């Protein structure tokens, strides 16, 4: 079963991220049921261009027995805090205790180009956003005048839920990690190396908790990882294109570039970026070292993948979220990521589903 029990005084959860690459609804339901049967703690659904995360969470919850469902993550510029609070409340009203609200700022290009908003004051906005969501879901009448958000005289006309909605903050940089330690119930990281967990994540969570004069007991320290499992010994090669995507110099990925540099791969990042600028994608992928894949992702045979998961727990995580990425391909993360003459790659959906099944069955 996927629940790993306790490490000291902390739970060790294994979660699954589903819904990327346009996974069709019927397959999403069947894979969610498979994960539910294998004991995964939660399924997290992203919201970029794959559909509405809240609706997908509700469908998954309706077709499974006990697995939790979360937004992994939804952007705070995509909805007003009033709408977000109502959606989170409704999910937990119909599926008590199963809804998890993962909130993030997302990338500047998404915010500006898709939602017509200015990507600014994001730490104050996250603070104010969560403050409003908590008050609304607690049944309060809310009037709020903040630096970034204003609400006047709103109240959800339903009795409060039996337990508060658990809110996770998506964070890479220290400032947002500190905010998570201060006001959230959990952290939703991504691509964290074990050194980054020990040296950056845990200390900054503690700074935030100390600021709020609270304990981190019960706080869920989670991180997502691109995941490919294969008994054939080709998982690392299948992961290389995905790692290449994240550690290049596009505006979307500055935080990941910095993590790669701090992990000792600064020269490799330069080589990969130079190859991309001359549209030599084969060279860019080939320049990704196997150790880079093992540092930032979960990949390998089932035994190798389990060892990488355990290393993240030992570094301090309480939840590992396995992101079932399409293996062996790359695609633009944002406008301008790759030169115009570079085409995004795709994967045949049936093959992709089989890879997801392999992750669920071998690691659950």
Closest CA to 95 of 72, 67, 61, 63: 61
pLDDT tens for residues 177-226?
A: 999 999 999 999 999 999 999 999 999 999 999 999 999 999 999 999 99
- Is residue 328 within 8 A of residue 266, CB to CB? The reply is no
Please tell me which residue, 45 or 4, carries the higher pLDDT value. 45
Burial of 7 (0-12, 13-18, 19+ CB in 10 A): middle
Q: Which pLDDT score, from 0 to 100, does residue 251 have?
A: 47
Q: Which pLDDT score, from 0 to 100, does residue 7 have?
A: 44
Residue in the structure block whose two tokens are 């406008």:
335
Using pLDDT thresholds of 50, 70 and 90, give the confidence band for residue 19. confident
Q: Which pLDDT score, from 0 to 100, does residue 50 have?
A: 85
Distance CA 87, CA 69 (A): 13
Q: Give the percent of the chain with pLDDT over 70.
A: 96
CA-angle at 45, arms to 78 and 8, nearest 5° = 115
The pTM assigned to this predicted structure is 0.95
Which long-range contacts (C-beta less than 8 Å, at least 24 apart) are formed by 180-184?
Answer: 180/205, 180/208, 181/205, 181/206, 181/207, 181/208, 181/209, 181/211, 181/212, 181/216, 181/219, 182/208, 182/209, 182/211, 182/212, 182/214, 183/127, 183/130, 183/131, 183/208, 183/212, 184/130, 184/219
Closest CA to 246 of 279, 280, 218, 285: 285
**Residue 333 predicted with pLDDT over 90:** no
Work out the mean pLDDT of the chain and round it to a whole number. 93
- Is residue 209 within 8 A of residue 216, CB to CB? The reply is yes
Local structure of residue 111 (DSSP, 8 states): I
Q: Which pLDDT score, from 0 to 100, does residue 4 have?
A: 56
Distance CA 177, CA 57 (A): 25
Distances (CA, A) of 316 to 7, 205, 211, 312: 9, 11, 21, 7
Distance CA 158, CA 136 (A): 10
**Residue 252 predicted with pLDDT over 60:** no
**Residue 130 predicted with pLDDT over 90:** yes
Q: Which regions of 171-241 does DSSP assign to beta strands (E)?
A: 186-190, 220-229
Across the strands, what pairs with 13? 319
Q: What tokens appear for 186 in the block?
A: 């959990």
Using pLDDT thresholds of 50, 70 and 90, give the confidence band for residue 55. very high
Q: Which pLDDT score, from 0 to 100, does residue 8 have?
A: 44
pLDDT tens for residues 278-299?
A: 999 999 999 999 999 999 999 9
Q: Which pLDDT score, from 0 to 100, does residue 5 have?
A: 57
Distance CA 200, CA 94 (A): 38
Span of 8-12, 265-269, 321-325 with lowest mean pLDDT: 8-12
Mean pLDDT of 322-329: 96
Domains of the chain, start order:
6-230+300-330 (3.20.20.30)
Q: Which pLDDT score, from 0 to 100, does residue 9 have?
A: 47
pLDDT tens for residues 151-173?
A: 999 999 999 999 999 999 999 99
Q: Which pLDDT score, from 0 to 100, does residue 250 have?
A: 53
Q: Which pLDDT score, from 0 to 100, does residue 108 have?
A: 75
CA contacts within 13 A on the Cβ side of 268: 23
């Amino acid at each position: 079963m996927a629940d790993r029990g306790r490490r000291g005084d902390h739970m060790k959860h294994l979660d699954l991220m589903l819904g990327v690459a346009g996974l069709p609804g019927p397959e999403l339901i069947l894979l969610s049921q498979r994960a539910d049967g294998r004991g995964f703690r939660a399924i997290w659904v992203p919201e970029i261009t794959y559909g509405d995360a809240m609706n997908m969470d509700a469908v998954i919850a309706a077709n499974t027995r006990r697995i939790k469902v979360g937004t992994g993550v939804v952007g705070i510029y995509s909805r007003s805090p009033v709408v977000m609070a109502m959606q989170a409340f409704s999910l937990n009203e119909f599926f008590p205790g199963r809804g998890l609200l993962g909130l993030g700022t997302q990338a500047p290009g998404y915010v500006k180009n898709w939602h017509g908003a200015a990507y600014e004051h994001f730490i104050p906005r996250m603070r104010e956003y969560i403050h409003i969501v908590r008050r609304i879901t607690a049944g309060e009448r809310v009037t709020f005048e903040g630096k970034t958000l204003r609400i006047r005289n709103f109240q959800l006309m339903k009795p409060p839920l039996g337990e508060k909605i658990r809110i996770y903050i998506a964070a890479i940089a220290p400032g947002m990690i500190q905010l998570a330690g201060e006001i959230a119930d959990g952290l939703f990281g991504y691509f964290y190396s074990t050194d980054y967990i020990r040296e950056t994540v845990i200390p900054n969570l503690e700074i935030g908790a100390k600021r709020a004069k609270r304990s981190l007991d019960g706080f869920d320290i989670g991180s997502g990882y691109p995941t490919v499992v294969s008994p054939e010994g080709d998982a690392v090669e299948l992961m290389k294109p995905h790692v290449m995507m994240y550690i290049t110099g596009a505006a979307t990925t500055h935080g990941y570039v910095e993590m790669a540099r701090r992990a000792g791969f600064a020269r490799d990042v330069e080589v990969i970026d130079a190859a991309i600028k001359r549209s030599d994608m084969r060279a860019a992928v080939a320049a990704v070292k196997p150790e880079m894949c093992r540092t930032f992702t979960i990949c390998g045979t089932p035994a190798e993948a389990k060892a990488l998961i355990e290393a993240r727990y030992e570094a301090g995580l309480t939840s590992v979220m396995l992101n079932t990425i399409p293996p062996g391909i790359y695609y633009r993360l944002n406008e301008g990521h790759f030169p115009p003459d570079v085409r995004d790659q795709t994967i045949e959906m049936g093959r992709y589903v089989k890879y997801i099944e392999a992750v669920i069955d071998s690691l659950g």
